[in-house]
Amino acid sequence: MGTATTRTVALCCAAGIFLTALVSPQAGASEVGETWREAVDKRSWRFPGDHGSHPDFRTEWWYFTGNVTSDSGRPLGYQLTFFRTGIRDRLPADGNRWSLRDLYLAHFTITDVEGDRFLWFERSSRAGPGLAGAREGALDLWLFDWTAAQNGDVIRLSAREEGAELSLELSPRKPPVLHGRRGISRKGEEPGQASYYYSLTNLKTEGTLQLPGGEMVRVKGRSWFDHEFGSNQLAQDQKGWDWFGLHLSDGREIMVYRLRKVDGTLEPTSSGTLVEADGTGVHLELDDLSVDPTGTWISPASGGTYPSGWRIRIPSAGVDIDVVPALPNQELVTERTAGVIYWEGAVTVRGRSEGEPVTGGGYAELTGYAGSIGGLF
């Protein structure tokens, strides 16, 4: 478990892009482009089947975040993510159930705003004889007893660790929205330097959540589901990224992905998506939006200096909002595993949308402010 003063191992940013920090060239993986598929062509999407695994791609992640409130009005945030990274493109022919093709990881966090606590946990395993896995053609993920599975229209999440527990049911209010152009999210200018990326941006959320030492409480709110898969790497001149997944009270959602370069500029392929109340997705180029930090926070654990608060504007959509962390310290220091340091946590929103006042919430993710993630995907 980790808090602002106590921490343990955690792994991988929710965007999943530095998963292959665990995979060296000697690990048996083929070179990208030889046997792993790449996100280069328009994809024929099929839902809900595409919620499942795509093992022809080297890296894949399923990312659930949400802002919920207990029956007593206590605000809480959660994250449950599952990651798959390919070590080799096929299993050996020996039939050994312990042979390694994919490595699975999972990450579980709770943000307790009133208690000023940020809790985080991590697990990893090879598939082995049923230890971890992801089905093709259906959403069914597991790593030991942490699970995410879809039955009909309902996605059920379950995780427990060291007295923290969640059991949630998520029901989509909107259809999947594709990010980037035609669902291809560019990470750079090189061919194949991209991933297939979509989201369920508005999921009605109900269930139970327990904090260590506390009682199980009923909660309800909204969640966001990201699913992304690809095979290529970030470039050495790319330092980190800022990601936002935001719910507005007028029914809109906003995704922003800004990839920062070492020289301080932004990757031109950085982009976003505005999801209208009726579920229509509008692609946003880098020039269509602005993200201006309004404060900073210095980590006592890593010494990294992070932006802490932002003003986000989308002039064409009449969006002008302030985004504020629910807690300043939602940093993870993964020095016992990938060695990557990043900030991932719940945020609140206030501002205007199409001239009307709005509030809201969501999640933000910040990497490259303490250490580097260059060259990883």
CATH number at residue 336: 2.40.370.10
Asked if the structure places residue 5 within a domain, the reply is no
**What's the token pair of residue 124?**
């990893």
Cβ–Cβ < 8 Å for 101, 57: no
Distance CA 222, CA 204 (A): 5
Task: Supply the DSSP string of 315-366, one letter for each residue.
Answer: GGGTEEEEEEESSS--EEE-TTTT--EEEEEEEEEEEEETTEEEEEEEEEEE
**What's the token pair of residue 25?**
């060239």
pTM passes above 0.85: yes
Distance CA 316, CA 115 (A): 39
Distance CA 13, CA 340 (A): 9
Distance CA 367, CA 344 (A): 9
Cβ–Cβ < 8 Å for 274, 284: yes
Structural domain of 268 = 19-367
Asked if the structure places residue 1 within a domain, the reply is no
Each of the 377 residues of the chain gets a pLDDT tens digit; together they read 444 322 222 223 333 433 433 333 333 333 444 488 998 888 999 999 999 999 999 999 999 999 999 999 999 999 999 999 888 777 676 666 767 778 898 889 999 999 999 998 888 888 888 899 999 999 999 999 999 999 999 999 999 999 999 999 999 999 999 999 878 998 888 877 899 999 999 999 999 999 999 999 999 999 999 999 998 767 788 889 999 999 999 999 999 999 999 999 999 999 999 999 999 999 999 999 999 999 999 999 889 999 999 999 999 999 999 999 999 999 887 655 555 788 999 999 999 999 999 999 999 999 999 975 643 44
Asked if the structure places residue 247 within a domain, the reply is yes
Asked if the structure places residue 376 within a domain, the reply is no
User: Looking at residue 336, what is its pLDDT?
Assistant: 52
Asked if the structure places residue 373 within a domain, the reply is no
Cβ–Cβ < 8 Å for 101, 93: no
Please count the structural domains in the chain: 1
Asked if the structure places residue 6 within a domain, the reply is no
The amino acid sitting at 322 is: D
Distance CA 65, CA 292 (A): 23
Asked if the structure places residue 375 within a domain, the reply is no
Asked if the structure places residue 235 within a domain, the reply is yes
250-282 burial: b if 16+ Cβ within 10 Å, else e: bbbbbbbbbbbbeeeeebebbbbbbbeeebebb
